[in-house]
Structure 1
Amino acid sequence: MVKAAPATVLFFFGILSISGLAGCAATAEQPREVPAQVKALEQQDKYREAAIYYQRLAQDAKPPLRQDYQLNAVASLLKGNHARDAKTNLEQIDLGGADPGFLIRKKLLAAEIALQQREVKAALAELEPLEKDPLPAGQAGQFHGLRLKAYTQLNDLYSSTRERIALDQYLEAGEPRQQNRAAVLDQLARLTDNLLLLFQAPPGKSPATQGMDKNQQLSRLTSLIEDWRRHDLTEAELARVQALDARLNEPQFAVLPLPDHIALILPLSGRYAAAGEAVRDGIIAAHYSTRHEDVTPVLGIYDTGSDNEQTRRAYQQAVEAGAKFIIGPLEKEAVASLAGNELPVTTLALNYAVPAEGGPRGLFQFGLSPEDEAQQVAERAWNDGRLRALVLVPDNDWGSRISATFLQRWAALGGEIAAIETYDANKSDFSGAIRHAFNLDQSRQRHKQLGNVLGEKIEFTPRRRQDIDFIFVAALPRQARLLQPQLKFHYAGDLPVYSTSHAFSGDKNAQLDQDMDGMIIGDMPWTLGGKLPDNTLPDKIRQQWPNVNINYWRLYALGADAYALSAYLGNAPNRVLSYSGNTGRLSLSNNLIQRQLGWAIFKGGIPRPRE
């Protein structure tokens, strides 16, 4: 276990950048002060030039200053995401007879190079020798930050949580530490949820983790929580830890019954009638597919129309009829209107309209938020090791909202924006926006100028800008089918493209979506073909309603999940929720139902689960 005295380090979404820790005192453990020339170059994103500057300094320097400059050159290359060149330079550095601190720096840089090259096991192998002896504080922070990034990429929830806990003491006070602590508590809650699900599984159905049975996993998790408790936690943080302790003392979840009278208040007439009917039919299908042990709930259905006053009347009618749980309304404006009043019955609104702390007691909010999906795309890209994004969105209000949310989350993670470009969603040719984003017109202009100077025709292939390592596209299915091949045509076929569920119609059609191959999307198990609470439910809905509107297919899943959530919210809303639903992995935070997407990549025109 690496231990060191507390120190302040820089922190970006729980993942440290070694290069971001430069600028300490001149010691073997840390590089010396960054020269002003290097700072100026790096502020202009000229990382190769910064590395060359260090290399020139190294030529005229004697050890150990020479090795210091050489290691700094590698760090500059890593800042620019030039892992291949960084690796070549690092391998050429001779540290024979050097202070052990230089050897540690080299190991940390080698690990970061491996992570940038998606070689996670190699990165962990570089870091393993550093576990044996205590590290200086700054390097200990780098060590745990790199291990956190590695285990996050491996989706190893336990190990990444352990590294976050170890990293806590090295983070500067304020937002970096607060973000990490919030992540620790969320991950401990997820570990607890996962473990309790194992305890609920029938005999022989509980998969072991790394050769451990569920009791060994319980012991391991309890020790991890105790380790976290020893940190200087706030009262609120300590309360969450105590809540986890209480849950781990429960041998298993009790089976929660559904409320005996559930009311649906949905728009069944007016502008949103088709959407309201899809939610209603999803609820009805789930109702008739659910095995009711004692009492089959009564379903009351009320039309909210498209008028806030009618919504309030429908709510009151449901209350007077004896409803014990209310699902709806659906429209954002109707939810906001209802949230302005005290609610006598627990209510699950199907949209997000008010802040969690701003709503009345008993109001829960659940929906398919485009903004939430944009945030998760940012997180997915970051966990995939991406750094510099091109953002390509339609020039309308929806595109602006998606873009703003993605940019805010991407900046919070520590990502960089290479360019933001908009396109006209009503057109079919997006080449102008793509050429502008990739500076292809500038490339053609340089070719023309060179031809004029030489006075002869030159063979030419336009070269796109090289400082982009992924593209975030916000698009509906028609635009997505057109954008993906046009991006490939304009020399961006090697760049991964990420999008929200809106790029996919929800109906698997290999012929129609063949041009979308390579696009990565976040979506729900209902449309991606993942495991569902009832795998027969989609077919039952298609059989019952043969003319189902595919445009609202995801809303059937929303209705089915809302019905299932009534058991939880109607009986034990203070428990930590972890439910694998039709719309994703659902959890509860401050009366908001949060939804974790699944991920797929188009292959052969079909979205297939992404490893």
Structure 2
Amino acid sequence: MIACLRLFTALCLAALLAACASSPSSSLGELPRTPDASLEQLLQQASETSNPEKAALLRLSAADLAIRQQNNERAQQILAQVPLEQLKPAQQVFASTLAAELAMSRNDHKAALTALNHPSLSRINELPTDLQVRTHTVHARAFEADDQLLSSARERAAMAPHLTGDAATQNNEAIWALVAALPVDQLQPQGNDVLGGWMSLALTVKSAGTLQDQQNAIDQWRMQNPAHPAAIQLPTPLVKLKELASQPLTKIALLLPQSGQLASVSRALRDGFMAAHYQAQQAGQNPPGIQFYDSSRLTSLDDFYRQAQADGVQLVVGPLEKPLVKQLSSRPQLPITTLALNYSEGTQGPAQLFQFGLAAEDEAREVARRAHADGLTRAGAMVPKGEWGERVLKAFRQEWEASGGTIVGIEYIDKPVALAQQVAELVQLRNAGKSGTEQPSRRQDLEFIFLAATPQQAQQIKPTLNYQYAGDLPVYATSHVFSASGDLNQYKDMNGVRFCETPWLLEPANPLRQQVSAQWPQAGGSLGRLYAMGIDAYRLTPSLGQLKALPDTRIDGLSGSLSMSPTQRVERQLPWAEFVNGQIQRLPDTRY
């Protein structure tokens, strides 16, 4: 009886091992298969077998099964028991793929890329197609998470021939999203392969100007590349562009408050918007009609949209009021595409909602990007005490730390009389030694100061830095340090302070600015930022679909260089200037 049981156990073990391995290959080695056994059975058999290769195959199967069961911690423990360098190439690829999948499950794309940097992956084309697809997929995800978009697209293009149906369509959509996000200087196809075709399509679309130009360019590309996957089935964003081109914009609703606290802001936005409209007319274009609606009198957004639809409106620009924008962002969908002139907090809104504004948080992120591009890594921060300062600091911190920077000190500006002490605490001024021959010194782990402050506060802070033996510390500020008042004496104590600002205020010779300022002199001062935003809101109206379909596309606006985030918020990249003897000196642009 016992002998029969032993024979039965041996037969079961042989069957399980056979289920775990594919047919052997002369040089690549066998591959694990999804077994007809439980996790514990596989691990028990791995511990009982005296064959190291079979034990490794069983453990790889067990780790794979644990991943499929979403038991990633157990899978990691099992995989750690597999001696990678003792495996054959096919098994090494399999193990590296599992390690990469586990790394991505914990959002560690660096570890995933390290796992996939194994020499065995040079033979991936010799492996079964299901493993090729699995490995290319996780490799593409890791490259994308590391912002290596072209490498990610290359992985997806490599597995494309092995996909059919919905999987092929989804992969092609992902390739387009990747190449469309590449800057133009990286869209230089090296050959006539499939990936080169995707890149040439993206370059073709980005090189065209208007929607109609883009449609003509796409049609021409499809005629030249009839067998390419994108010619056979256009990516969804390009299909939507085609729909936009077939429906020209003929009527816009401008929804702004005509009374209340925001009336003066609204007037500046409206005047800028209409100035751009009249400029388009003077240039011989056929711009859409504009119809005005008073948001300060709204009793129901639903009633407004019904009226706008009845009036033939195709696009709404506004509202400005944050509570109304918040209402719109909480809806599942909107009856008319809307460009709100403010930002809601939290998650992305409906697909028909785009958001544009002059958020201080944008400028805080701009400071972080510029300082990082300038090679700095350790920051101090001075922001106003209160909710506004906390929001600005949070935006700076997120962008700064995401790029590897650290914040070594923070001071909250409150009472002017305390500024000198706050600056001293931030730079940790050390007094001279007892001999009296040494100069006082500041902390050396601080490379620059991020400053969000009014001109009056900045006028005190910069001279205090000089007095506290920290005059060599660079100061990177938001536009709030610049009042654009034209009073040069206001800035004489701010030498060396760098700040981001709208092109409108840094380019006084701009023809449209001169034309607008002649009619509304206040447009040359700090209100000019709102006039610039109104102009840019008008320029965005025909381009929202393009910006959404082509994420790397930029519009050179007067409030900044404009692009679209994945959450459909218009983001601004700003030029930089520096105070030099009371004058404003434009700094060279830096590519981020």
TM-score normalised to structure 1 length: 0.57
Task: Report the counterpart of residue 577 of structure 2 in structure 1.
Answer: 600
Task: Report the counterpart of residue 405 of structure 1 in structure 2.
Answer: 395
Pick aligned residue for 2:270 from 280, 283, 296: 280
Code of the aligned partner of 2:560: G
Task: Using the TM superposition, give the Cα deviation of residue 293 of structure 1 relative to its aligned residue in structure 2, in angstroms.
Answer: 4.5
Return closer, same or farther for 1:417/1:189 CA change in 2, 3 Å cut-off: same
Task: Using the TM superposition, give the Cα deviation of residue 573 of structure 1 relative to its aligned residue in structure 2, in angstroms.
Answer: 5.1
Code of the aligned partner of 2:293: Y
Return closer, same or farther for 1:263/1:386 CA change in 2, 3 Å cut-off: same
Q: Trace 1:88-237 onto structure 2 (pairs within 5 A).
A: 178-181=145-148, 189=180, 192-193=183-184, 221-223=188-190
Return closer, same or farther for 1:469/1:223 CA change in 2, 3 Å cut-off: same
Task: Report the counterpart of residue 346 of structure 1 in structure 2.
Answer: 337
Code of the aligned partner of 1:290: A
Return closer, same or farther for 1:419/1:354 CA change in 2, 3 Å cut-off: closer
Contact 2:462–2:493 (CA<8 Å) still a contact in 1? Answer: yes
Q: Which moved more, 1:358-367 or 1:248-257?
A: 248-257
Return closer, same or farther for 1:316/1:177 CA change in 2, 3 Å cut-off: closer
Contact 2:143–2:149 (CA<8 Å) still a contact in 1? Answer: no
Code of the aligned partner of 2:474: P
Q: Residue 301 of structure 1: SS of its match in structure 2?
A: strand
Task: Using the TM superposition, give the Cα deviation of residue 190 of structure 1 relative to its aligned residue in structure 2, in angstroms.
Answer: 6.8
Task: Report the counterpart of residue 155 of structure 1 in structure 2.
Answer: none
Deviations 1:552-572 (A, max 9, x none): 220111110110111112688
Percentage of pairs with the same residue = 36
Task: Using the TM superposition, give the Cα deviation of residue 592 of structure 1 relative to its aligned residue in structure 2, in angstroms.
Answer: 2.1
Code of the aligned partner of 2:327: S
Pick aligned residue for 1:578 from 554, 558, 575: 554
Q: Residue 320 of structure 2: SS of its match in structure 1?
A: coil
Pick aligned residue for 1:371 from 361, 365, 371: 361
Task: Using the TM superposition, give the Cα deviation of residue 496 of structure 1 relative to its aligned residue in structure 2, in angstroms.
Answer: 0.7
Q: Residue 260 of structure 2: SS of its match in structure 1?
A: coil
Contact 1:192–1:248 (CA<8 Å) still a contact in 2? Answer: no
Pick aligned residue for 1:385 from 363, 371, 375: 375
Q: Residue 520 of structure 1: SS of its match in structure 2?
A: strand
Contact 2:477–2:498 (CA<8 Å) still a contact in 1? Answer: yes
Task: Using the TM superposition, give the Cα deviation of residue 265 of structure 1 relative to its aligned residue in structure 2, in angstroms.
Answer: 0.6
Task: Using the TM superposition, give the Cα deviation of residue 224 of structure 1 relative to its aligned residue in structure 2, in angstroms.
Answer: 9.4
Contact 1:508–1:606 (CA<8 Å) still a contact in 2? Answer: no
CA distance in 2 between counterparts of 1:224 and 1:479 reads: 57
CA distance in 2 between counterparts of 1:175 and 1:607 reads: 44
Pick aligned residue for 2:466 from 488, 498, 523: 488
Contact 1:509–1:606 (CA<8 Å) still a contact in 2? Answer: no
Instruction: Name the larger-Rg structure.
Output: 2
Q: Residue 330 of structure 2: SS of its match in structure 1?
A: coil
CA distance in 1 between counterparts of 2:513 and 2:470 reads: 37
Task: Using the TM superposition, give the Cα deviation of residue 314 of structure 1 relative to its aligned residue in structure 2, in angstroms.
Answer: 4.2
Q: Residue 517 of structure 2: SS of its match in structure 1?
A: helix
Task: Report the counterpart of residue 295 of structure 2 in structure 1.
Answer: 304
Code of the aligned partner of 2:513: P
Pick aligned residue for 1:254 from 187, 210, 218: 210
Q: Residue 521 of structure 2: SS of its match in structure 1?
A: coil
Contact 1:325–1:570 (CA<8 Å) still a contact in 2? Answer: no
Pick aligned residue for 1:567 from 520, 523, 542: 542
Task: Report the counterpart of residue 545 of structure 1 in structure 2.
Answer: 520
Pick aligned residue for 2:531 from 541, 556, 581: 556
Return closer, same or farther for 1:411/1:296 CA change in 2, 3 Å cut-off: closer
Contact 2:533–2:559 (CA<8 Å) still a contact in 1? Answer: yes
CA distance in 2 between counterparts of 1:438 and 1:572 reads: 43
Q: Residue 464 of structure 1: SS of its match in structure 2?
A: coil
Return closer, same or farther for 1:539/1:423 CA change in 2, 3 Å cut-off: same
Within the alignment, does 1:431 sit opposite 2:398 as a pair?
Answer: no
Contact 2:180–2:202 (CA<8 Å) still a contact in 1? Answer: no
Task: Report the counterpart of residue 290 of structure 1 in structure 2.
Answer: 280
Contact 2:419–2:461 (CA<8 Å) still a contact in 1? Answer: yes
Q: Which structure has the higher relative contact order (CA within 8 Å, separation 6+)?
A: 1
Deviations 1:523-555 (A, max 9, x none): 221111188xxx211122222223558342201
Structure 1 unaligned blocks of 5 or more: 1-136, 142-168, 196-216, 231-240, 452-457
Q: Residue 180 of structure 1: SS of its match in structure 2?
A: coil
Deviations 1:379-412 (A, max 9, x none): 1111111121111111111111111221222211
Q: Residue 489 of structure 2: SS of its match in structure 1?
A: coil
Structure 2 unaligned blocks of 5 or more: 1-112, 118-135, 153-176, 213-244
Matched pairs, number: 392
Task: Using the TM superposition, give the Cα deviation of residue 312 of structure 1 relative to its aligned residue in structure 2, in angstroms.
Answer: 5.5
Task: Using the TM superposition, give the Cα deviation of residue 583 of structure 1 relative to its aligned residue in structure 2, in angstroms.
Answer: 1.4
Deviations 1:345-402 (A, max 9, x none): 111111221556x311211111112112211211111111112111111111111111
Return closer, same or farther for 1:312/1:272 CA change in 2, 3 Å cut-off: farther
CA distance in 1 between counterparts of 2:323 and 2:370 reads: 31
Q: Which moved more, 1:173-182 or 1:563-572?
A: 173-182
Q: Trace 1:474-513 onto structure 2 (pairs within 5 A).
A: 474-513=452-491
Q: Residue 374 of structure 1: SS of its match in structure 2?
A: helix
Q: Residue 505 of structure 1: SS of its match in structure 2?
A: coil
Code of the aligned partner of 2:585: R
Contact 2:255–2:295 (CA<8 Å) still a contact in 1? Answer: yes
Contact 2:328–2:353 (CA<8 Å) still a contact in 1? Answer: no
Q: Residue 462 of structure 1: SS of its match in structure 2?
A: coil
Code of the aligned partner of 1:371: E
Q: Which moved more, 1:392-401 or 1:176-185?
A: 176-185
Return closer, same or farther for 1:416/1:340 CA change in 2, 3 Å cut-off: closer
Task: Using the TM superposition, give the Cα deviation of residue 178 of structure 1 relative to its aligned residue in structure 2, in angstroms.
Answer: 0.9
Q: Residue 511 of structure 1: SS of its match in structure 2?
A: helix
Task: Report the counterpart of residue 609 of structure 1 in structure 2.
Answer: 586
CA distance in 2 between counterparts of 1:503 and 1:294 reads: 39
Contact 2:423–2:461 (CA<8 Å) still a contact in 1? Answer: no
Code of the aligned partner of 2:253: A
Q: Which moved more, 1:341-350 or 1:568-577?
A: 568-577
